[in-house]
Chain A
Amino acid sequence: MSVFLLLAIVAILSVAGFVLCRQRALKQAGGTARNLHSLPNYYGWFGFIMASVPAVLVLAVWMIGQPLFIERQLSGFFPAEMIEDDAARTLLFADVRRVASGLDVAVAQGALTEDEANNIRTEFGSVRDRLATVGVALGSEVTPPVLQAAQDYREMSRVGAVGRTILTFVLSIGGLILAIRATNPEFRARNRVEQVVLALLILSSTIAILTTVGIVLSMLTESLRFFTMYPAADFFFSLTWSPNFRGNSELGLLPLLWGTLYISFVSMLVAVPIGLFSAIYLAEYASNRVRSIVKPLIEVIAGIPTVVFGLFALVTVGPFLRDYFAQPLGLGNSGSSVMTAGIVIGILNIPFISSLADDIINAVPQSMRDGSLGLGATKSETIRKVVLPAALPGIMGAVLMAASRAIGETMIVTMGAGAAARLDLNPFQAMTTITVKIVSQLTGDTEFNSPETLVAFALGMSLFVITLALNILALIIVRKYREQYE
């Protein structure tokens, strides 16, 4: 039975649980909700949850666990030298799964009967050819052990699917029965339902944290592998970046870090004043009508995909800067430059800063402004001497968050700043950043076994540490800001 159908049946049972528990509770209470501990809907929801949650959870665990279990069972099947390292093992099981699903397709299309699929042998002709007739293309001829494993794989999956269906049914119906039996007017359905909601909330917050931890761990293990192949001192302190896939690469972080920080600096130079000034205008001077038009318009910028910004950098800003600034000033003739990428990232960050700063300025109590105006200060003096200082820590937090966005930006830099790793002060020179090099080191290569590809993880880790540090700094400042005027 397909998973979809199974879920549909569980859903039907859950709805039945809702209706039955609700009715039963009402009936036992003599038809009036007043005699119940909780509102009738809570009894209904309790029935719904009991019929659905355990069944769905077990189903999910089963579906994750079954392939892992089968793979482990099948490992014993292959000679040790075939699965001695992870890469070979992954490849082998990919083959097994492909053949197994090929056999499924063949049976489904009627090219093979179920018995034939189970008994097909490489000795009686090419399995590859037979599968090709039903549209399943295999890269190489199927070897006997792989075919055998695939057939076992199918058998185990079939058994697993039956077990899965039965277990899900039992849990769903069992939960339903338990819920109905538990339902009586004294039963605290409301509290139970709220417990489940609490569990859901905790689960959601944990998933976000666990994902972060998982990302860090995966980056960390790959980075450590990189450092076993390439000296850490060279990575952190070398001034040259020249990867060479034939070996003898020089993988120095510093030129990339310089490019990253330089471009981010230029972008902040653009984004901070413009974003802040527009926020001050919007929060303090603009009438409600102007504000209701201008604010959404500024925020439209935030909705533009960064790759579109990249195009803008490539075809408009880059040539403009080259023709009117770089060439007349004799500073180079490259359209891709630190300035191009920096300015465009700055524009990208304007709505981010202006929107956050606008909220922060609005959060400064009106009584502060009244106090200052009441002393005979002008509006501008009030903003400069009272509102902005009160909002400053919050604004700093916004600026640092924008900075970590600028550091992590990839697409605009790829299209606007060029690909040359260079330590240079000239802002009209092409430079490159950590993010661009991560992409270029990984593009077109899926085997992570050379320093040239693994360096991407070390770069990513460095980037992560930098932005994390900035974000923590921002958080600390924002927290301090909360205590300011209370």
Chain B
Amino acid sequence: MDDMRLVERDVNQLHSKIEAKGVQVYYGEKQALKDVDVSILDRTVTAFIGPSGCGKSTFLRCLNRMNDTVASARVMGSIQIDGEDIYDARVDPVQLRAKVGMVFQKPNPFPKSIYDNVAYGPKIHGLATGKAELDAIVESSLRKAALWNEVKDRLDASGTGLSGGQQQRLCIARAVATSPEVLLMDEPCSALDPIATAQVEELIDELRSQFSVVIVTHSMQQAARVSQKTAFFHLGSLVEYGETGQIFTSPKDPRTEAYITGRIG
């Protein structure tokens, strides 16, 4: 696999999906994120890279308000999705999370059957009116996650019995099943072997046709492989944001260059 194979870089989408302005996050007294401005495009894969503790995961968790579940976290600034401020008091975070799906670092299938894992979201949100429709959603989600062929004969088996790569694709299918508009992925391949990683990366590229995908990754090769836009975070600030090809070949900021050449991080 050619690590630096730069997939088609031309960003043909100009419509901005997420607009963040002056986002600051505090965990208690500690500031985790300083004044982040970023505009994430629709139907594009955007990668967040940066050394550990730089705030990229924190920012990702702001986008679907998962930081609300951390008692000490405070978020300031504005984040708009399709022009609507998601931190507005009128927005129900629960509804927001149905629209902005999330895949976590460690595969976390529920200890239920494969079918129930995927059907979980649609059942909660009442997306299917009958068993047949639910079956169809489960099948199409598993197909989108490239897992259908492997599990179609054992949908009743426990989701926790799958291999690590399969579990992560199950989690992607689970997130896709609620038909979100944005898919957030927090280091989705860090617990996977190279083969499973390649499968998931292929999948991300396919998902781009339907969703806006934001992926946090530690692997710069992965960012280069799957994303069209890349944002580099360092010490809680957004250092540089631009097209992936430009970030990796001619970074403007010396810190970005230092990071991608392996001198900091």
Contact = CB atoms under 8 A, between A and B. Distances in A.
Given A371-B104, A484-B160, 18 more contacts: A368-B108, A368-B110, A371-B171, A373-B69, A373-B97, A374-B102, A374-B175, A375-B98, A375-B101, A376-B124, A376-B178, A377-B121, A386-B120, A389-B110, A389-B112, A485-B111, A485-B160, A486-B160
A263 interface: no
A385 interface: yes
Given A367-B104, A484-B111, A485-B160, A372 B120 contact: yes
B131 interface: no
A365 interface: yes
Interface in B170-204: 171, 174-175, 178
Contacts of A385: 120, 124
B163 to A, nearest CB: 14
Contacts of B106: 367
Interface centre among B101, B109, B112, B124 (most CB of A within 10 A): B124
Contacts of A449: none
20 contacts: A287-B71, A367-B106, A367-B108, A368-B111, A369-B69, A370-B104, A371-B104, A371-B108, A373-B66, A375-B98, A375-B174, A375-B175, A376-B98, A376-B124, A376-B125, A376-B178, A377-B94, A378-B94, A385-B124, A389-B110
| Chain A interface mostly | helix
A374 B66 contact: yes
Contact of B121 (A287, A369, A376): A376
Interface in A346-396: 365, 367-378, 381, 385-386, 389-390
A362 B69 CA distance: 15
B230 interface: no
Chain B interface extent, by class: 20 to 34
Interface in B121-141: 121, 124-125
Which 8 interchain pairs have the tightest Cβ spacing? A376-B98, A374-B102, A367-B108, A376-B97, A375-B121, A371-B108, A485-B111, A484-B111
A215 to B, nearest CB: 38
Contacts of A485: 111, 160
Contacts of A372: 110, 120
Contacts of A390: 110-111
Nearest to A390: B111
A486 B107 CA distance: 11
Interface string A33-62: 000000000000000000000000000000
B97 A375 contact: yes
B110 A386 contact: yes
Interface string A183-202: 00000000000000000000
Nearest to B106: A367
A373 B92 CA distance: 12
Interface in B88-105: 94-99, 101-102, 104
B58 to A, nearest CB: 14
Nearest to A287: B71
Contacts of B178: 375-376
B46 interface: no
A440 B62 CA distance: 67
Contacts of A486: 160
Contacts of B174: 371, 375
A461 B121 CA distance: 52
A376 B95 contact: yes
Nearest to A386: B110
B111 A389 contact: yes
B64 interface: yes
